[in-house]
Amino acid sequence: MDPKDAAAARGVASDDEEDPLWLVVGLGNPGARYDGTRHNIGFAAVDFLAKSEGIAVDKVQCNAAVGKGRIGGGGKSSRVLLAKPLTFMNVSGESVGKLARFYRVPPARILVLYDDLDTAVGTTRLRAKGGHGGHNGMRSIMSHLGKDNNGKDTKDFPRVRLGVGRPPGHVPVVAWVLQGFSKGEQEGVELSIREACEAVRAVLSVGLEKAVSGVRV
């Protein structure tokens, strides 16, 4: 039996080793009430990327809004599945894990875009791996992508942190991330979203190592 037919029979998508698929995930909460909040900047980044690349994220699979296409630059691109989990932030891993298993995407080819309290508004950070830093969406993803060699939840997947800043004074973190950005922050938000998308394009064209070092296309 052809490998692709065998994969289909098992209820999973076949993987193309010569043109591997990347899973690019933006984190947020579903529903109009959360649009524009700090916690949903990952959704906003994927929406911006999808629009600029002409990819329609209009199908639902594994409890996520998804869309397929190609993204890259400088004459090289990669197949990509853009995804926005519809599970609510704290259980995002349920959707991401299902997509990863269905499409047979290893953690090394799962790129997650999410809000980061420890990064200033207007700033992005591309990292090859790392911990969850207290972010419940990232914690959930780590718990659904398997274990590392030490039997712990894997941290070995790339991510782009989009800065939302720490709350002022005694404002609770939970309340802060569910607030919108101020007018004075909008320019920085737009900048960080554009930079996050540039980082994704770099990863998918020149590779993760060069992209982390600062190469852009």
125-149 per-residue burial string, b: 16 or more CB within 10 A, e: under 16: bbeeeeebeebbbbbbbbbbbeeee
Say which residue the tokens 């929406």 belong to. 47
Cα distance between residue 110 and residue 80, in whole Å: 10
The answer to whether 146 and 154 have CB atoms below 8 angstroms apart is yes
Position 63, amino acid: N
Q: What are phi and psi of 193, to 5 degrees?
A: -65, -45
- C-alpha torsion angle, residues 58, 64, 70, 72 (rounded to 10): 120
Q: Is 39 among the residues known to form the active site?
A: yes
Of 39, 132, 135, 170, catalytic = 39
Active-site amino acid positions: 39
